[in-house]
Amino acid sequence: MDNLIASFNPPTQNCRGYRWIGILLISTAVSLSGWMPGLTRDLSRIEGASAAYAQDFMTRMGNYADAVLQMEPLRIDALEKVQEEMGLQTPKDICRQTKLSPTVKKICTNFYNESAKIIQRNGLSNLEFNQITEKVHSDPLYQKRLNEEIRKRQ
């Protein structure tokens, strides 16, 4: 094995090519990790933009937790009304069903409209809220962070 390592000596004229490959690999790894360099105002040092991203993530997760907590009583109320109308065997995703009675459709519409207002009051767009919801369901880190935020607020 030592012979293989000792025998691998790139020619000096190709050193620049190897450097560029190394730089490309490092920059790709840094980019994939989410760390982006930034310069301070006086340009004297480089700082990671990931700190700003982390702060934004924490703020958005806090806003999301607030919205979820504010929407929960509405959700429970809407579910109870739907169950009164349809019975206790109500499907979990009832408001996504296509064939609904006018009464149930109205309950669902009111819930969605009130939820949208809560989401916006908490500084999120509906798209952001839905993206975070998707992440919370698929990523244990997001789920853990949401649980921490909800515990803080209760």
82-127 pLDDT per residue, tens: 999 888 788 888 888 888 899 999 999 999 999 999 999 999 999 9
Structural domain boundaries in the chain: 2-48, 50-153
| Residue numbers in the chain where pLDDT is lower than 70 | 1-55
- Contact in structure between 146 and 129 (CB atoms under 8 Å): no
Query: Helix 102-121 crosses helix 126-138 at what angle (to 10 degrees)?
Result: 90
Q: What's the pLDDT at 21? A: 58
